Structure 1
Amino acid sequence: MHHTGGPGWRITMDTCHPMLVALYLRDVAGLEGAGNPALSHVAPTVRAADHSMLTSDVGGNPALRRQWEFWWEQLVEGFPQAPALTAPDFPELGTMPALQRVARAHYGSALGWAGERAQQYAMMAAQRETMGGHRILAELVQNREMELGRNARDFTLSILEVPLAQPRAWFIEPDKIIMSSKLLDDQDAFCSYVRPVVEQLV
């Protein structure tokens, strides 16, 4: 986790293990385009499986999509304190039987995949700290303060970094951004997505 801040404002960048698990389950279930906003598929790619037999008596794929989208919305609202699933019965998904079945079928592989991604993120974040890769966040705020001729208003901004194939970001109003964990490597592209949000908040 990285924190950047000044008087009254704070920007946090981190990943989220429960949300990594959710994205794995989305892709293994073949729920392309699910969620609002519809994030790109993860990288490395997760191979989709057919769950029509598994979920046929609890609403099938349409129910699975609706349930995943409802769960994802809860996770996004809760970030950065998104709750983890409780194996092996996943009571958190008790009202979402199709999703609960898919979670039971793939939880071990989802947990392993998410753990590897979280470990990779931790190494990348440590390297950024060493190299000063996060300075751009403070610079965006400071540049906006100079343009306005005043200090930033009080605000918090949480940036969720997840391994998405598409190198871009999605603004979730009023104070969250979901972005590809590789986006900060291209500071021009990063600024093109994040600067308008910072300008609005400052």
Structure 2
Amino acid sequence: MRAAGAWGIDLTMPQSLVLALHLRDAAGLDPPTSPLLPALPPLDPPVRRLTAAGGLSGLDAASRQWADWWVERFPGGPDALTSILPPGYPGLRGRTELRGVAELGMDEAVTWCTRVREVEKRVVTRSPSALFETNLLEEVERELGRRIRPFSLRVVVLPVAGAHAWDVLGQAVISLGLRADRDAYLTWLRERLVEIGRQRIARSEGQST
């Protein structure tokens, strides 16, 4: 959490979503997109493909089940994580094909997730601090001509390839590559802060009338 006074920015990489993306890539799933599931690039670094005696089967069904799970559990959290983990895989009940993929690939997904956490730590070490974000907020407030009312911006960070950002029904989602690019991250953050400021100004003016 980065905070200044009554505002805060919380960047989080939900382990449940990272594990799910690893299963997607490792099994070669092609889940249908939706307002809650944009076309997310493959993970970076790339993952090793799953192998099974006789090959993987039921991948079309597993792809649909994966998309359903994502929509149910996005943007992640404790319930989302426990739903996809062994031994019970409670969130995969009735999703036989996807559970088969999870049983085959979860150990490697957990190992990969641990490694990418180390990458995330290095990115955070090199990336903008609270001072950069505070200065950026003050710049936006000067542009808007007033203080921005208290807010909390939660940002989901995903370790997918490239520098990307999505607005998933109001939830900010960015790639770790965008987070790692200081200038690109600050440009994206500035746009979000301007949007937040304008929304709060409009709300305040509406209440005053």
Using the size of structure 1 for normalisation, the TM-score is: 0.80
Match of 1:138 in 2: 134
The yes-or-no answer on 1:112 pairing with 2:115 is no
Deviation >6 Å, runs of 4+: none
Match of 1:191 in 2: 186
Q: Separation in 1 of the partners of 2:172 and 2:137?
A: 16
* CA shift for structure 1 position 82: 4.0
Match of 2:195 in 1: 200
**One-letter identity of the residue aligned with 2:153:** L
Rg larger for: 2
Match of 2:203 in 1: none
* CA shift for structure 1 position 48: 3.5
Alignment check: 8 A CA contact 1:41 1:164 kept: yes
* CA shift for structure 1 position 179: 1.6
- Residues 15 and 166 from structure 1, CA distance in 2 versus in 1: closer, same or farther, beyond 3 angstroms? same
* Unpaired segments ≥5 residues, structure 1: none
What is the 5 A alignment of 1:49-198?
Answer: 49=50, 54-55=56-57, 60-79=58-77, 82-84=80-82, 85-125=84-124, 127-128=125-126, 132-174=128-170, 176-198=171-193
Give the secondary structure class of the aligned counterpart of 1:46: coil
Q: Separation in 2 of the partners of 1:185 and 1:121?
A: 9
The yes-or-no answer on 1:27 pairing with 2:25 is yes
* CA shift for structure 1 position 61: 2.6
Give the secondary structure class of the aligned counterpart of 1:160: strand
Q: Separation in 1 of the partners of 2:3 and 2:173?
A: 19
Match of 1:12 in 2: 10
Per-residue Cα deviation, 1:112-134 (whole angstroms, up to 9, x for no partner): 11111113323432x24xx7545
Match of 2:200 in 1: none
Using the size of structure 2 for normalisation, the TM-score is: 0.78
Give the secondary structure class of the aligned counterpart of 1:122: helix
Q: Separation in 1 of the partners of 2:181 and 2:78?
A: 24
**One-letter identity of the residue aligned with 1:159:** V
**One-letter identity of the residue aligned with 2:23:** L
**One-letter identity of the residue aligned with 1:193:** W
**One-letter identity of the residue aligned with 2:138:** Q
- Residues 75 and 24 from structure 1, CA distance in 2 versus in 1: closer, same or farther, beyond 3 angstroms? same
- Residues 138 and 66 from structure 1, CA distance in 2 versus in 1: closer, same or farther, beyond 3 angstroms? farther
Query: Aligned residues, how many?
Result: 192
Cα RMSD of the aligned pairs, angstroms, is 2.6
Alignment check: 8 A CA contact 2:19 2:110 kept: yes
4-13 or 103-112, larger mean C-alpha shift: 4-13
Alignment check: 8 A CA contact 2:29 2:60 kept: no
Per-residue Cα deviation, 1:58-83 (whole angstroms, up to 9, x for no partner): xx333212211122223323458743
Identity over the aligned pairs, expressed in percent? Answer: 29
